[in-house]
Amino acid sequence: MTTATLSLSGLTAAATEAARTAAAATDAERAAWLHAVADALDANAAELVEIGEAETSLGVPRLTGEVARTTGQLRLFAAVITEGSYLEAVIDHADPAATPPKPDLRRILRPIGPVAVFSASNFPFAFSVAGGDTASALAVGCSVIVKAHSGHLRLSERTAEIVADALRGAGAPEGLFALVSGREVGTALVQDPAIKAVGFTGSIPGGRALFDLATSRPDPIPFYGELGSLNPVVITAAALQARAAELAAGLAGSFTMGAGQFCTKPGLVFIPAGTSFAHQVAEASKDKPTARMLTSRIAEAYPEGLRSFAAVEGVEVAGGSIDQDAAANGAAPVVFATTAAKVLERPEQLLEECFGPTTILIEYTDQQELSAVLAEVPGSLTATVHAGPGEDIGALVEQLSGLAGRVLFDGWPTGVAVNWAQQHGGPYPATTSLFTSVGATAVRRFQRPVAYQDAPESVLHPALREANPLGIPRRVDGELKLP
């Protein structure tokens, strides 16, 4: 449990040794490590929030809530590993009379080894040093080396100190957790032979560059990247007729939340042609305050993205102004309006993510045109439907399920519950894998299956022993057995 006091090779060597110890530890021992980290972060929350506010300006209420979410994640993963089904233990007993004869086979998921985690800019706690990637990797017995985000470096360093001290005090092995910083070090970390998987949350260009490095190694490794997402919303005529003002207020609150820097921000909103809804959204968002953005790079990119949208003929600025200096004055909301036909004509410009408090309202003339334009939307984390009672939306939901990992009904996507059922991931470029980065099954990213054939019981993991000493759910001879 060190920060960058060792060379990178020294850190990865220590992480390799610690991973062996962590893999051999019991679930109860690893759960105790996670609880120790959660308790330590809670105990130091006020200090951490103060540092976070100074570096990110996200606001004390938001940051306070994010610390609670982070410690809640740690405790959730402690519960996940003690419940036991995360191991996916399977036993098929030998059957010599079968044709061909069947051996005794027992399968389980094992930790993959040392993991590199890249912190996100927009969630300095929940997707950062002690965030979901770190928590889920530690839970299953992997060691973790975190690459700090430059946007909140001081917070990262202080959080890492607290995490390392808590792990040490709980009896975790040295080298289980470390922090590094710097772009070159991050690149080298992905290429280090000791690293067996990478968790990343960030931009498409940055994530894709690291993904390519991870997969082009002599020994390619999994790269679990969350990159970019437009999060389409579809509103039907019946929904607009019934509650247009409510929808306008909800949308305005969602796309401006956190200065539009949420990965689940609704960036595309499809509405029936011939309504005044764009004007209603503009009115609902005009008094939303400007807000400082997370980094100077993000602040400089926001007005560029606005100008790119506005430069397309047929795209109207329905609310706000594209002439703004987000770096100096903070980002102000902007609402765009256009048509599905225009998006089909210029998808390379209009189906791009603009990180900041802006959204595009896209009018569709009929269901056929809506289906055609949705087919052009890149993979997303979420898709949302607002419909009237009893409307036939089966085909629409099926299409949205193909492009997003989470489909919402009559709600807004900003806000991701941390629980057993959550799926926070989607087709590329939303993510580079099929797995979730939030919720109980996030642990699956850092495990690999191993089967043991005709093994003596003495060498088997307790989860695979005949008597089921752990008392966990298992599948035995094809039948799910509950404890």
Distance, in Å, from the CA atom of 143 to the CA atom of 127, rounded to the nearest integer, reads 17
Backbone angles phi, psi at 272, to 5 degrees: -60, 145
Helix (H, G, I), strand (E, B) or coil at 149: coil
Helix (H, G, I), strand (E, B) or coil at 102: strand
Please count the helices (runs of H) and the strands (runs of E) in the chain: 16, 17
Phi-psi region of 412 (alpha: psi -120 to 50; beta: other; left: phi over 0): beta
Is 354 marked active-site? no
263, 353, 363, 369: which is the annotated catalytic residue? 263
CA–CA distance from 445 to each of 108, 111, 479 (Å)?
Answer: 14, 9, 25
In this structure, how many other beta carbons lie within 10 angstroms of the beta carbon of residue 28?
A: 11
Torsion of CA 129, 133, 136, 139, to 10 degrees: -40
| CA gyration radius, the chain | 24
Distance, in Å, from the CA atom of 1 to the CA atom of 382, rounded to the nearest integer, reads 36
CA–CA distance from 393 to each of 234, 371, 387, 420 (Å)?
Answer: 11, 12, 8, 27
Q: Which residue has the tokens 């609704």?
A: 266
Distance, in Å, from the CA atom of 239 to the CA atom of 412, rounded to the nearest integer, reads 14
114 Cβ contact list (under 8 Å, min separation 6): 12, 15, 16, 18, 19, 142, 143, 144, 145, 194, 195, 196
Q: Which residue has the tokens 């260009």?
A: 205
CA–CA distance from 54 to each of 63, 126, 147, 292 (Å)?
Answer: 11, 17, 20, 12
434 Cβ contact list (under 8 Å, min separation 6): 425
Look up residue 235 and give its DSSP letter: E
Closest CA to 79 of 475, 480, 423, 472: 472
Look up residue 54 and give its DSSP letter: H
55, 66, 142, 226: which is the annotated catalytic residue? 226
CA–CA distance from 76 to each of 116, 176, 301 (Å)?
Answer: 21, 20, 36
Is 226 marked active-site? yes
Length of the chain: 483
Active site positions, annotated: 226, 263
